[in-house]
């Protein structure tokens, strides 16, 4: 199984390579940030490459396109998405954006609108959408933490998209959480990546052909 993806420097594979990778197979497009772009990891260690391996193990024919970029915000993803739709024509979109919006203190209404418009655009193009939520640490304050978490469930409810409430469940809230994060205490280590996949997989599998 071949992955058509952004390189570490954000360089696209050629159009011919992308077409060859996706020919005859359903396309799963992952639109995310550093949590999906293997930040600080060796290539192949992140949850998205692990997804590709799981699909192969379960003999599910699909091509994974990882269009995640470290540092990306929901507005950045929204700006990039039309071109991604045109290029890859995904059957499934895994939308993992919003963490950097919180880190930058961007208005929650903007985050919600961006995720909503990306989801609607994907669905209008015939793709099924899985929204992957994230949560912020308690130091953001109880009110902000609650409202930020609600953004993902609200967009999923409004669009009837599938939802993973918390990508880092079992990692950020684990008893040994610090050992599962890189030195920046933001990005999970390679050891934690299978848990991230296990969080995404049940909901994604429901969308895929039986």
Catalytic residues: 34, 184, 187
* CB 97, CB 33: distance < 8 Å: yes
**DSSP-derived secondary structure letter, 37:** T
Write the CA distances from 133 to 40, 108, 124, 164, 184, integer angstroms.
Answer: 21, 14, 22, 6, 21
* CB 166, CB 199: distance < 8 Å: yes
Question: Which class for 116: exposed (0-12), middle (13-18), buried (19 or more C-beta within 10 A)?
Answer: buried
């Amino acid at each position: 199984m071949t992955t058509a993806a952004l390189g570490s420097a954000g360089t696209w594979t050629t159009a011919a390579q992308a077409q060859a990778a996706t020919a005859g197979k359903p396309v799963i497009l992952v639109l995310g940030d550093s949590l999906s772009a293997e930040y600080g990891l060796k290539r192949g260690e992140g949850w998205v490459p692990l997804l590709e391996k799981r699909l192969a193990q379960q003999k599910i024919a699909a091509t994974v396109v990882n269009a995640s970029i470290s540092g990306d915000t929901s507005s950045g993803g929204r700006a990039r998405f039309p071109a991604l739709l045109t290029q890859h024509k995904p059957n499934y979109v895994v939308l993992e954006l919003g963490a950097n919006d919180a880190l930058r203190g961007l208005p929650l209404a903007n985050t919600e609108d961006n995720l909503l418009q990306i989801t609607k655009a994907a669905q209008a193009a015939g793709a099924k959408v899985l929204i992957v939520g994230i949560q912020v640490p308690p130091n953001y304050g109880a009110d902000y933490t609650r409202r930020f978490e609600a953004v993902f469930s609200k967009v999923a409810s409004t669009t009837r998209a599938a939802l993973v409430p918390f990508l880092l469940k079992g990692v950020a809230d684990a008893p040994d959480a610090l050992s599962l994060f890189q030195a920046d205490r933001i990005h999970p280590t390679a050891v934690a990546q299978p848990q991230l996949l296990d969080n995404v997989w049940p909901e994604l599998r429901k969308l895929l052909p039986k």
